[in-house]
Structure formats: structure tokens, C-alpha cells
Amino acid sequence: MKPVYPKAGSYPDFAKLVDRENAQVDRRVFTDEEVYQAELRQIFARSWLFLAHESQIPNPGDFVRTSMGEDDVIVVRQRDGSINAFLNSCPHRGNRVCMVDAGKKARGFICNYHGWSFGIDGALRGTDGKVYEKDETFEKAQIGLTPVAQVDSYKGLIFGTFDPDAVSLLEFFGDFTYYLDIMLDNDEGGTEFIGGAIKSEIDCNWKFPAENFVGDILHAFWTHQSGAQAILGGGVDLGKRYDELAFQASIYGHGIETNLDKVGNTRTLGYPDLVDYAFDLSEKAKDRLGDIRARAIGAVSSCTVFPNFSFLPGQNTFRVWHPRGPGKIELVVWTLVNKNAPDHIKEQYRKGVMMTFSPGGVFEMDDGENWEYSTRVNQGFVTRQQPLHYALGIESADMERDLPGHIHKGSLNDANQRLFYTRWAEFMEHDNWTDLQNGATAAPKKPATAAE
């Protein structure tokens, strides 16, 4: 059967929930079921979404199970070394054909409802045998697992999209790869995920954590102050680490903020050896990345790749905010390290991530509580009539710094959040990629690679 992919529509009324002129966002974007269902169609069925790291599936038959929006997906290495992804749903009655989170060297997947089996290429290999005996019209070659329309990778990170007409992964990123390379290309040996994944659920809308990581360093000075003091000792003031070099950058709704302090994030993991490692890495990476990106390797920084993939340079936590309704997410967290890093450094990163950004982490508990209350409170009938304010730093655009994207001075503003929601509105409004890529969130006309 030929795969059937959803076609994008147009939701101009929903797009108007983001008021760019007044820098306001209607609270219904966090609570309304109709808005959420439109997001699944307009955003999660069209965007390039993070699937896995290549290090998780190094050999043919290796696989991981993940989600694209609310669609269950299997990502599997093929016998020729390529990577494919398929809906984890039997075409007979829809049951899962894979129940586990990951596996090695699988030969195929079998539905435990009627025994239909599928190869790692998604093709139907057989049933319990009785179908062929009684139904001569059964055409095995025409039935299989529905493939994800496009799968591609960027420096170890695997992404997929259900939209066969979507632009390439590199076009989806645009010049934001310049900032992704801070974590993905600061060492010639490349990167890997270590220690498996940590999964948890948070009763919040998926956009709250995504916008938090896209550029909200402001909350750290209040929300995380006590946690930072517990790890680093009394007298710590996170605000003092910010200087005139801090900036935000955004392209196509992807965003990063950093203050270029070299090791601020790394210090909060609590291991002096990691601070030394990050500092040395920052110095060595200057020739590879230039001074600005090298200084951001371990700095107090955060990043979101639109719509729902985030990471923290220095703390090395990578995460996806899988939507599970307007008021719930499944959070999956990994630890990324350089392959060439010493084993004891990798282990300290793993433990540091667990201590800070895990269900019991000193920072993640802070964040989760804030996101849950924000989601819950916004459900009030009168409350959700009041627009939310996103106008901090409205005049902070930096037209002088020669960096890719929309650049804003300092990090203590809502610049990247405004562009994140502008991109959200673009996806809601437009049914074609030409308009999406030419919208307000596209990078200003600058060189593809900015001079340091």
C-alpha cells in the first residue's frame, strides 16, 4: 500500500493567537484541545523531528523506539548501513510491532496480535501461514510498515519528517548549524550518547520547556539560585556571570542564548575535573570554531531546535519534549559526550546530568514545577482571556555583530521566545514550505558562515 501522509492546512485564526505587533501570546495556545490537534497536523507531521543519535544504532538491526508527536516510531539501522524509520503500528489492526525501547541486531518485528512479521526494512515477511492458504488475493508485497517520509542526519543526530515535500534537513536548520556545531563539532572525534535514556512525565504543555531552553536565562537567577548554591557553595550569584558579550541568536524559530563565560554550565555539574576539561576544550576549539563558539562550549547557555528538541552546552544534557496532550509531555533525556573524551570525564558528565537534569535533579524539579503551574493556571476561563507578555528586550536587536541569524544583545530578554512563537504561527498559517522558509523567522541576509 502506498503510504498516506497528512496534508497541511491553514489555521489563520490560530496563527493570530500570536500577536507579533504587541509581543503577546494568547494563553489558549497552551490549553486548547483544538489548537493542540492542529499542532499535531501542522507542526509535528511536517517538521524535522529528532529521532536518535547514530551511536545508539551502530550496527544493522540495531533500533530505538521513539515518538514523532504522538506517533510511535521505530528507528532502525539497515543492512546497507543506512537508517530508516517506520510507524510502530501493524497495518492489520494497528497494534505495536515493537514493545521495547531499544534493541541490537534485530532480524525483524512481530505483531503479537495475529503474528504478522516485518523485516527491518519494514516489509511484511509473513503471517502465521494460514492467510496464504485461504486467501489467494493476499498480496504480501503491497503491505508493510508505513515509512517516515524522510530520514537524514547531521553530525550524528538523526532527524525525520512525515512530510515528503518538506525541505531538506539542512534547509530546515538554515545557518543554525553554525550554533549546533558548538556541541556537535568541537572535537574531531565526533560525539556519542552514553548511559541510556531517562524518561519521565511532566503535566505541562510542550511549548513551556521548549521556549524555556530557547532563551530564558532570566529564570535561572531566581528559580535555580538555591540549587546552584547547594552545588557550588554559598555566595553564588548567577547574575554576576553575565557581561556585555551575552547574546541570543535565532533562525527559523531555532534559538540559542549564551554569555560566553566558557565554563558556567559545566561548573554546576559539581566536578572540578569537568571544569578543567571544558576549559581546555574551549581553548583547543578556537582554531576549529573561532573564539565566540569556543567560549560557548561550556558556558551558561541553552538551545532549542524547533519545535521540541533542546540541549544545554556545558551540562551536555540533550532532551526531547514529546507532546502527550495540551497538558502533558513525556520527557526523554540523554547525555552527549565527545567520543575522544577520557572515560572518567564521560562518567562524570553522566552523573552530573543525573544530579542536575533528571526527575530527581536539583534543577529539573525547579523547572518542572514552574511549567506545571503555568499550564494549570492558564486553564482558568477568565485567566486565559488575558494575553501573556513577551516584550522584554523589544529594542535589543544587534545589527553590528557579524553572526548568522536574528541577533539580540544580552540574554535577559524575550527575543528568542518571540521568534519561537512567530515560527509556531508560521506553521499554523502556511500550507507550503516556500512561505515557511521565506517567513519572518528566516535569517537576515548575511553570509552563510559569519566571520568570527
Distance between CA atoms of residues 256 and 146, nearest Å: 34
SS3 label, residue 151: strand
pLDDT value at position 450?
45
Residue 103 lies in a domain: yes
Catalytic member of 13, 128, 165, 219: 219
Residue 40 lies in a domain: no
Residue 94: CB partners within 8 Å, gap ≥ 6?
none
pLDDT value at position 135?
59
Residue 121 is among the residues annotated as catalytic for this protein: no
Catalytic member of 26, 163, 216, 261: 216
Q: How far is CA 52 from CA 58, 155, 320, 368, in A?
A: 11, 12, 10, 24
Say which CATH number the domain at 68 has: 2.102.10.10
Residue 381: how many CA atoms within 13 Å on its side-chain side? 0
Band of residue 412 on the pLDDT scale cut at 50, 70, 90? confident
215 pLDDT more than 50? yes
- 336/227 same-domain check: yes
363 pLDDT more than 90? no
Residue 32 lies in a domain: no
Residue 322 lies in a domain: yes
What cell numbers appear for 349 in the block?
558528565
Residue 14 lies in a domain: no
- 274/410 same-domain check: yes
- 59/197 same-domain check: no
Say which CATH number the domain at 358 has: 3.90.380.10
Band of residue 444 on the pLDDT scale cut at 50, 70, 90? confident
- 266/406 same-domain check: yes
Residue 406 is among the residues annotated as catalytic for this protein: no
pLDDT value at position 84?
97
For cell 490537534, name the residue: 37
Catalytic member of 367, 408, 414, 430: 367
Mean pLDDT of 349-365: 80
66 pLDDT more than 60? yes
Residue 16 lies in a domain: no
Tally of domains in the chain: 2
Band of residue 451 on the pLDDT scale cut at 50, 70, 90? very low
pLDDT tens-digit series, residues 28-58: 999 999 999 999 999 999 999 999 999 999 9
- 315/214 same-domain check: yes
357 pLDDT more than 80? no
Best mean pLDDT range from 157-166, 195-204, 391-400: 157-166
Judge contact between 340 and 189, C-beta under 8 A: yes
- 142/194 same-domain check: no
Determine the Cα angle at 154 with ends 152 and 158, to 5°: 50
Judge contact between 166 and 46, C-beta under 8 A: yes
pLDDT value at position 262?
81
Q: What string of DSSP letters covers 164-218?
A: TTSPPHHHHHGGGHHHHHHHHSSSTT-EEEEEEEEEEEESS-THHHHHHHHH--T
DSSP E strands: which ranges in 206-338? 247-251, 254-258, 301-305, 309-312, 317-323, 329-338
pLDDT tens-digit series, residues 228-263: 555 555 554 544 445 567 899 999 999 999 988 888
pLDDT value at position 221?
64
Tell me the H-state helices in 268-363. Answer: 272-284, 286-289, 291-295, 343-356
Catalytic member of 224, 254, 406, 408: 224
Band of residue 448 on the pLDDT scale cut at 50, 70, 90? very low
Residue 205: how many CA atoms within 13 Å on its side-chain side? 23
pLDDT value at position 125?
87
Residue 431 is among the residues annotated as catalytic for this protein: no
Residue 219 is among the residues annotated as catalytic for this protein: yes
Distance between CA atoms of residues 353 and 88, nearest Å: 30
Mean pLDDT of 170-186: 97
Residue 246 lies in a domain: yes
- 67/184 same-domain check: no
Mean pLDDT of 318-342: 96
Residue 367 is among the residues annotated as catalytic for this protein: yes
5 pLDDT more than 50? yes
* Residue with more model confidence, 173 or 94: 173
Catalytic member of 114, 152, 187, 431: 114
Distance between CA atoms of residues 418 and 20, nearest Å: 8
Residue closest to 397 by CA, chosen among 296, 292, 180, 247 = 247
pTM of the model: 0.92
Residue-range definition of the domain harbouring residue 94:
49-152
366 pLDDT more than 80? no
Residue 86: CB partners within 8 Å, gap ≥ 6?
73, 74, 76, 122, 145, 146, 147, 148
pLDDT value at position 353?
87
Residue 366 lies in a domain: yes
Residue 44: how many CA atoms within 13 Å on its side-chain side? 25
Mean pLDDT of the chain: 89
Neighbour tally for 71: CB within 10 Å: 17
Weakest-pLDDT range from 82-86, 140-144, 180-184, 251-255: 140-144
- 138/258 same-domain check: no
